[in-house]
Amino acid sequence: MPELGDAEGFRRSALRLAGALIARLEVPDPSVVRNVDVATLQRAIRGSVIGSACRHGKCLLIPVGTSWMLLRFGMTGSLILDETGNVSRRFERLSIGTDRGWLRLVDRRRLGNVSLARTEPECAELIGALGPDALRIGNPEFIAQLRSSRGSIKSAMMDQQRIAGIGNFGSDEILWRARIRPDAPAASLSPAQWTSLHRATRSVMHLTARAGHTPRGRTWLTSVREDSRALCPRCSTCLCRSEVNGRTSVWCPECQPPSSLATRA
C-alpha cells in the first residue's frame, strides 16, 4: 500500500514536469475522477502549466494553471513519470500528457482517485479532514493527536484524521523500532514510550521520504514481514502476526512484550 514515502517519491516524479505545458488528458477509467466529470477536468487543465507538486500525508497535490489536482493512491496506486512514451500502460487509469512527457496514474485495484479544486478554499476542503503530516509533526502535537484515542496505538497511528501519512507497514515498522506492541492501548503509553514513538516516527518517515518508498534493508522489519516464518531482524525471535482493527500486524514478542518499556536497550 502506498504510504508517505511512496507519495513523496510520486511528488518528486511530478516535480520533474514542473513548468511543462499540458497538451492532453487521457482517462481510460472515468470512475477514477470523483468530484467532476472527465470533460470538466479536461477543460480545466488542458493548456495549463504544471506547477510544483506538494504532498500532505499520502495525498499528492499538483497545481495545474489556477487549479489543483488532488491524487489519492488507495492500496495499489502509483504515479509513473513516462518521459519516453515507452512505459507499460497496464492498469493505467489517468494520464496527463505534456510537452515533456507523461504522468500516468496506475492502479491495479482501482481504489485511487483524482479530484479537482478550482479555488484555494476548495483545495483546503479536499485536504481538510486530514491530520498533521507525519513527516513534519512535532512531539507535543504528536502526543496530543494520538493519546486521546480509545483504541490501540496502531489504530490511532493509522487514523489519517489524527496524523496523515502512516499506513499499515509504516506503523508496524515504527512500533517495532519503539519496542511497543501494536495492540497496546494508546492511553496506556508512558512518557518514555511517547518520546520513543515520536523519535521512531520521525526516523522512519524521514528515511522513507528520502528513499521515495519503504526501504527493505536488513535492519527493517518491513523487509521480512511478508514471510510467515520470518525472524526478528533485531533479536532473531520468530515474529508474531495478529489483527489489529482488521489489519494484519507483525511484531516481535521479545522486543515488544506487553510490559516493554520504550527505553529498554
Residues 183 and 214 in one domain: yes
Q: What is the CATH number of the domain that holds 37?
A: 3.20.190.10
158/245: higher pLDDT: 158
> pLDDT tens-digit profile of 161-213?
999 999 999 999 999 999 999 999 999 999 999 999 999 999 999 999 999 99
State the maximum Cα–Cα separation within the chain, in Å, rounded to a whole number: 60
Cβ(175)–Cβ(199) under 8 Å? no
Paired residues of 79 in beta bridges: 105
**pLDDT over 80 at 73, yes or no:** yes
C-alpha–C-alpha distance, residues 74 and 55, integer Å: 15
Q: pLDDT category, 228, cuts 50, 70, 90?
A: confident
C-alpha cell at 228: 510467515
Residues 148 and 42 in one domain: no
Concatenated DSSP letters of 63-107: EETTEEEEEE-TTTEEEEEESSS-S--TTEEEEEEETTEEEEEEE
Domain boundary among 127, 152, 175: 127
* pTM for the model: 0.92
Average pLDDT over residues 61-87: 93
Cβ(100)–Cβ(54) under 8 Å? no
Within-domain flag for 238 = yes
258/43: higher pLDDT: 43
Mean model confidence pLDDT for the chain: 93
Within-domain flag for 257 = no
Residues 83 and 103 in one domain: yes
Residues 93 and 152 in one domain: no
> Which structural domain range is residue 170 located in?
139-251
> pLDDT tens-digit profile of 130-175?
999 999 999 999 999 999 999 999 999 999 999 999 999 999 999 9
C-alpha cell at 49: 502549466
Average pLDDT over residues 216-243: 93
263/62: higher pLDDT: 62
Q: What is the CATH number of the domain that holds 225?
A: 1.10.8.50
Cβ(168)–Cβ(137) under 8 Å? no
Give which of 179, 118, 185 is closest to 148, Cα–Cα: 185
pLDDT of residue 259: 62
- Count of the separate structural domains present in the chain: 2
Average pLDDT over residues 89-101: 95
Domain boundary among 69, 104, 127: 127
Average pLDDT over residues 19-31: 97
C-alpha–C-alpha distance, residues 72 and 83, integer Å: 22
